[in-house]
Copies of this chain bind each other. A is one copy, B any other.
Amino acid sequence: MTTIVLASRNEGKIVELRRILSGIGVVGQPGDAPDVPETELTFAGNALLKARAIAAHTGLPAVADDSGLCVDALNGMPGVLSARWSGRFGGAAGAGKDRANLELLLDQLADVADEARGAHFFCAAALVVPGGGEHVVEGRMHGRVVRAPRGEGGFGYDPIFVPVDETRTTAELSPAEKDAISHRGVAFRELAKIIPDALAAVRGTG
């Protein structure tokens, strides 16, 4: 079975993506992998940056995603800056930063009425095959931002996001329930469909 490298240091994402890509041999990125600044202004651009860097570093097919929460009342932000939204006030990456990010977002939306709190999670997932092609797929999950965190599951903004047709936050859903509707679930199931052909194309010419 071919090995695919997942270009991420975010433990929450790695757990989710392994679950979704369970039929494929997935390893996390090696410890000496380069740090790739997410300098692009689009999710697809950042996902490709990361997948290209890890494919070049390892010589293996690499998968990366860039995801974020796009809030209507903030013109689609935090968007590609979701993980870095609270800047210095959130400290280093991890649960503390996740908490600071969502607290800042709640404060920014404090005066925004319930009917104007629409938002969607967006995911761009990229596959880069060394000597082969580049592929990007997308997924969305629509919903709204509530006023206080609820739930212990998920990560990032999950405790303050309620999907359409749900009353629970995505942090209150089971992992399987979340995967079934999530932006990342949608995108990675799309990617799983194209992985066999994308890898076979390289083998065929190798």
Q: Are B111 and A39 in contact (CB under 8 A)?
A: yes
- Categorize the interface residue count of chain A: 20 to 34
- When distances are taken between beta carbons in the complex, the residues of chain B under 8 Å from A6 are none
- For chain A, residues 80 to 94, give those with C-beta under 8 angstroms from any C-beta of chain B: 81, 84-89
A83-112 interface (Cβ within 8 A of B): 84-89, 100, 103-104, 106-108, 110-112
Chain B residues with CB under 8 A of A107: 84, 87-88
Which of B39, B75, B84, B89 interacts with A75 by CB under 8 Å? B75
Contact string against B for A residues 48-79, beta-carbon threshold 8 Å, 1 for contact and 0 otherwise: 00000000000000000000000001111101
Assess the B75–A88 pair: CB atoms within 8 A.
no
One of B38, B74, B111 near A38 (C-beta < 8 A): B111
Q: Give chain B residues whose Cβ lies under 8 Å from the Cβ of A77.
A: 74-75, 77
Cβ of A1 < 8 Å from any Cβ of B? no
A99 to chain B, nearest CB (A): 12
Q: Could you say which of B73, B85, B106, B110 contacts A108, with CB atoms under 8 Å apart?
A: B85
Q: Is the CB of B39 within 8 A of A113?
A: yes
**A148 within 8 A of partner (CB):** no
Q: Give the residues from 17 to 38 in chain A that come closer than 8 angstroms, CB to CB, to chain B.
A: 37-38
Between A73, A74, A100, the greatest number of chain B beta carbons within 10 A of the residue's beta carbon is seen for: A74
A61–chain B nearest beta-carbon distance, Å: 26
Interchain CA distance A41-B77 in the complex, whole Å: 14
> When A39-B113, A41-B116, A77-B77 are in contact, do A84 and B104 touch as well, CB less than 8 Å?
no
Give the chain B neighbours of A39 by CB distance below 8 A. Answer: 111-113
Shortest distance from the beta carbon of A136 to any chain B beta carbon, whole Å: 20
Residue of A39, A111, A112 with most chain B CB atoms under a 10 A cut-off:
A111
Q: 4 closest Cβ contacts across the A-B interface?
A: A87-B107, A75-B75, A89-B89, A39-B111
Instruction: Identify the A interface with B (CB < 8 A).
Output: 37-39, 41, 73-77, 79, 81, 84-89, 100, 103-104, 106-108, 110-113, 116
